[in-house]
Amino acid sequence: MPDMGDRIGGALGGAFYGIWTGFWHGLALRLVGMAAVMISMGTLEAVSEAVIGSSEPALHAFADTVDGAEYGSDAYECQDLW
């Protein structure tokens, strides 16, 4: 029958083994998770850049049209005051 020293040694060894293996398994999973997040963020950035980049000239043209209409209406209002 094991004595108290064997029990304490077994408990400490088991705790160390659990912490050691948990750390390395957690580290591996953490690295895999970080890689997956970075890949998905890169993909999301590429897709959003493609969508925004393709519509950017149209947005600028629309903004110029709106600005022109605002300036034109202001000029028209100023003419009415004379």
Helix (H, G, I), strand (E, B) or coil at 3: coil
pLDDT at 43: 78
pLDDT at 72: 54
* pTM confidence score: 0.37
pLDDT at 54: 66
Task: Quote the CA–CA distance of 31 and 18 in Å, as a whole number.
Answer: 20
pLDDT tens digits along 25-78: 777 777 788 888 888 787 777 777 777 766 667 666 766 665 555 555 555 555
Range 9-48 burial, b when 16+ CB lie within 10 A, else e: eeeeeeeeeeeeeeeeeeeeeeeeeeeeeeeeeeeeeeee
